[in-house]
Amino acid sequence: MELLPTSNAHVESKDVWTKFLKQKEKIIECYGDYPDLCGLLHKYIKSADHALVLGANNSTVGESLYDVGYHSLVVVDSNENAIKKLVAKNENKRPEMKFASMDFGKMTYGDDSFNVVLDRGTVDSLILQDTSGDIQDKLSGLFEQIQRVLKLAGRFICVSFAQDEVVKPVLEYFSNEGWPVRIHKLPDKEQDESGDGKKEFQPPVYVFVCTKFKKMPQMTKKILEVCLHDNQPTKRYDTIDAIQGAIQETQQYAMVRYNIQNRNQTEDGISVVLCNSATNQPRYTLHVVNSASAKRAHQKFAIFIVPEGRETEWLFASDAGRSIVASQAGFQRVLITCLHRDNTYENLDAIKKELSQKVMELAPPGLDRKHKVPFLTIGDDLGYREVRYRGKSDFSGAFVVEDVRSGEGAMLRRLVFLSAKDAVQSEVRLLPEKPKKKGKQGSEMETTQVTQIDTSYLASGYQRFQVVGMATIPQFQSLLEKRLDMLIIGLGGGIIPMFIYTHFPKVYLDVVDIDPAIVDVAKNWFGCVEDERMTLHAEDGIKFIADKAKQDTGHRYHDVIFDIDSKDLSVGMSCPPKVFVEVEFLQMVKDKILHPQGVFQLNLVARDKELKEQVIQDIKSVFPTVLRRSIEDTVNEIIYALPQASPLSDAQLKESVKKAGVAMQKIAKSSSTPVDPETDLSKVLEGLVIQC
């Protein structure tokens, strides 16, 4: 299988390009000589073609073409001295080769004189190095002359670095004239080493082939084709912007390779995605991680394969976690490699065969290309993942429900939002499947396997903080013996409401989620139930609360939980949406929705520290008593806000709440479905910060 690379790293390239463009003598070599270009040149130039070669610096390619039988060549350049030197050099060796000094924008050749116009860097030079200010006039003059002197079906072949400043004017001019344009990328050249042992920047080189067609008024669709990878078919694009994006991906990858091959330390966050060339779908993501803890001098480079389904775990999904993996592996550089869903991986040997060539492009500097790279993983297999359901939400985009196996061997079910970097929205543990009798057939009993959700288990810390929030309610134990009413805004997979439903039989829940697709997923795939104790509402949480407040029936909830993620990525707060913590709305919740002896809970996720503190201050302006509890290794913070001022001192309140957490654990353990031993609620409320 052919793998095509793209990069998700935004490596700054301006300084490298600026430095490179100052090396004018080096630039012309980087475009490639005849051996680099001959494959494409022979494809688009016939030996009998009358060809015009632009630029004296291109004479070496023209001379090579002449030597293999292309004798009808004319080289033009505006530098008269350069032309004189070429004449002296070639008049005896290549007598049929012609040379002329003239302005590219005012060529004296007649219309339809040539089958081919060949440029190797002339257009780049005009655009990238010209500072005279009249570049548009020069470009227009050059392009008009190329169009004039070319015969119908003739080809303008332009070898370029394909910077945006070049791609757009070339494609716009010739495609607007009705010419088909095809862009090829030359195979990457090995980067040369400079005097200090570092690799020198070698930009990718592209060849534009623009074929002269007669402009047809009825032909409105442009023909734009690109072939950016070896042995791959050309791909047609509808817009110039799309072509620029595809080219930029290959340029970015070249820049990433340059940066990580040129030094042992790389910036955090650099990764490369390898796609299946046949489908263009991601197959591997390679995170480049360096470590100073190589056990031996020869342990320079290794590939670590993350078992399938475990790529969302903190150890593999975060820079900090991957650094730990690399350090423990004991190699100078480790490629932490994640496997993408919707792909089939036969075994580790098959993966090694696929990756063996591509990974060497990301090796540390100085490593022999023939070095045998070790492949590392956890356990004896590549993990397990089965996609059980696919859906698309109007609010969250595409998502999947998938079953995976954890590092401890437990089976887990996850709801994953694909548009949020494969964010795991919900996770439950699955109980071992039990056979279910289906009926007799002959003398044998047919059975089917039934998947059961383990509602006694909470996968994450923040879920335990949300559940134990009930313990901050005064007299919560007596409420749990009679009736405790709870409102939860935000359902997801329904993990929190189902845990509460299972272990506290006197709690009655209204659970609201704006997304009907997610409500269906919670019921169909995560075991979320609806009965007289739990009602699921597919409704906007803001509207639900506003309607309840307007009705003002006197019914109040003892516990109100906001656990809603925000879709607005421009705000430095991903949970909740900002409208849910506006002072006026919070006041309505306190006055019209929450019981006077209840608790308001908020899952707050804000990376913007100023915004976070402003939210806290707004909550304090509404609720007399505010308790805060941060969650280790996350940016989550759980807020417990009480509508009444506590008569206790801070120390007394902390001790009271701490004891309440212990009592809640006892209640949960004594339920008909005992809480999982790993889900300990007794210590959750330790470490509270009180802000009255």
Taking the C-alpha atoms of residue 680 and residue 457, their distance in angstroms, rounded to an integer, is 10
Dihedral sign (CA 395, 401, 407, 409): positive
Between 229 and 479, whose confidence is greater?
A: 479
Peptide bond preceding 576 in cis form (omega within 30 of 0) = yes
Between 208 and 266, whose confidence is greater?
A: 208
pLDDT tens column, 19-45: 665 665 566 778 888 999 999 999 999
Give mean pLDDT, residues 379-388: 84
Instruction: Give the model's pLDDT for residue 312.
Output: 84
- Residue with the two structure tokens 């071992």: 432
Expressed in percent and rounded to 5, the helix, strand and coil fractions of the chain are: 35, 30, 35
pLDDT tens column, 153-162: 999 999 999 8
Torsion of CA 429, 433, 439, 444, to 10 degrees: 170
Q: Would you give the distance in Å from CA 423 to the centre of its chain? A: 11
Asked if domains 31-261 and 461-691 share a fold, the reply is: yes
The DSSP letter of residue 308 is: B
Residue of 272, 275, 298, 299 whose CA lies nearest to 376: 299
Instruction: Please tell us whether the domain made up of 31-261 is placed in CATH 3.40.50.150.
Output: yes
DSSP H or E run through 382: none
pLDDT tens column, 101-117: 999 889 999 999 999 99
Residue 446 has pLDDT above 50, yes or no: no
Residue 583 has pLDDT above 60, yes or no: yes
Residue of 303, 347, 350, 348 whose CA lies nearest to 325: 303
What is the full DSSP assignment across 330-348? T-SEEEEEEEPTT-----H
Residue 443 has pLDDT above 50, yes or no: no
Residue of 276, 378, 394 whose CA lies nearest to 6: 276
pLDDT tens column, 586-626: 999 999 999 999 999 999 988 888 999 999 999 999 999 99
Other Cβ atoms closer than 10 A to 474 = 17
Categorize the per-residue pLDDT at 444 as very low, low, confident or very high, splitting at 50, 70 and 90. Answer: very low
Q: What are phi and psi of 639, to 5 degrees?
A: -110, 130
Other Cβ atoms closer than 10 A to 105 = 16
Residue type, 262: N
Dihedral sign (CA 646, 649, 655, 656): negative
Backbone torsion region of residue 58, taken as left when φ is above 0, otherwise alpha when ψ lies between -120 and 50, otherwise beta? alpha
Taking the C-alpha atoms of residue 159 and residue 32, their distance in angstroms, rounded to an integer, is 9
Work out the mean pLDDT of the chain and round it to a whole number: 85
Residue 12 has pLDDT above 60, yes or no: no
Between 354 and 673, whose confidence is greater?
A: 354
Contacts of 46 (CB under 8 A, 6+ apart): 115
594-606 and 534-538 strand pairing: unpaired
Quote the tokens at residue 363: 């090796």
Percent of the chain with pLDDT over 90: 43
The DSSP letter of residue 200 is: P
Instruction: Give the model's pLDDT for residue 11.
Output: 45
Taking the C-alpha atoms of residue 229 and residue 233, their distance in angstroms, rounded to an integer, is 9
Q: How far apart, in Å, are the Cα atoms of 569 and each of 249, 577, 612?
A: 24, 10, 15
Task: Tell me the domain boundaries of the chain.
Answer: 31-261, 271-376, 461-691
Taking the C-alpha atoms of residue 92 and residue 219, their distance in angstroms, rounded to an integer, is 49
Categorize the per-residue pLDDT at 129 as very low, low, confident or very high, splitting at 50, 70 and 90. Answer: low
Sheet holding 114-120, edge to edge: 98-101, 73-77, 51-54, 114-120, 150-160, 206-211, 181-185, 224-227, 235-237
Topology of the domain covering 461-691: Rossmann fold (3.40.50)
The DSSP letter of residue 647 is: S
Instruction: Give the model's pLDDT for residue 629.
Output: 84
DSSP H or E run through 231: none
Sheet holding 423-441, edge to edge: 385-393, 397-405, 411-417, 423-441, 444-454
Between 546 and 218, whose confidence is greater?
A: 546
Between 512 and 277, whose confidence is greater?
A: 512
Residue 445 has pLDDT above 50, yes or no: no
Residue 82 has pLDDT above 70, yes or no: yes
